A and B are shown apart, each in its own frame.
Chain A
């Protein structure tokens, strides 16, 4: 059973628009959520992480976390063509010594 679910599978957003990506865990032992971005043919790079309820903003990127529902979301405002990538959500559990469980990813395409 997949412990980390992402939605949607793919998303097309016009340039300058807002992209919203979702991620939910089915394991109540989640300690930390991570968002990684992977451009085509490249390796994943950590974008943002969150462990406290609420939101965290870094430039055009905002992450929300609701620990009660184990749901996190990533919002990208003023989307740019360079934001086109596979976005991977991952969760680390407090019993797992740093192991990450990844979701299947959301493929984001920004249309000029």
Chain B
């Protein structure tokens, strides 16, 4: 049973449009993360959150906002989508601490035209 789910699984958006990616976890984890992955490359952290109603900037936050309305849900918002934001987006969750494994969702493939 999938513990981290994402929706939609794929999306085509127009340049300048608004995009919202959603993530839901049933792991009872405090930490949630949003990463982007460009084809064949590693993951880069966009935003993360360790408690509901609070979000933190990751390594590449420009052009993205995040929202954590509850422990289970974490959204990534692109207010003005751009071509450079075409990528696969992964959500993950973990317990607290540097030794806690992160569990990933299936990913959302976003194409901005």
| Min CB gap A70→B, angstroms | 15
Query: How many A-B residue contacts, CB cutoff 8 Å?
Result: 65
Which B residues are in CB contact (< 8 Å) with A34?
101
Residues of A in contact (CB 8 Å), total: 28
Q: How far is the CA of A97 from the CA of B98 in the complex (A)?
A: 5
Q: Is the CB of A31 within 8 A of B50?
A: no
Which A residues are in CB contact (< 8 Å) with B101?
34, 46, 49
Q: How far is the CA of A96 from the CA of B43 in the complex (A)?
A: 16
Most buried by B among A34, A45, A99, A101: A99
Report which of B43, B48, B58 forms a contact with A88, defined as CB distance below 8 A.
Answer: B43
Against A, the Cβ 8 Å flags (1 = close, 0 = not) of B34-57 are 010000111111001010000000
Task: Return 14 A-B CB contacts under 8 Å, by A number.
Answer: A6-B42, A31-B99, A32-B98, A42-B107, A46-B102, A86-B40, A88-B42, A92-B99, A96-B98, A97-B96, A99-B58, A105-B40, A105-B41, A107-B40
By a beta-carbon cutoff of 8 Å, the part of chain B in contact with chain A is 31, 33, 35, 40-45, 48, 50, 58-59, 90, 94-107
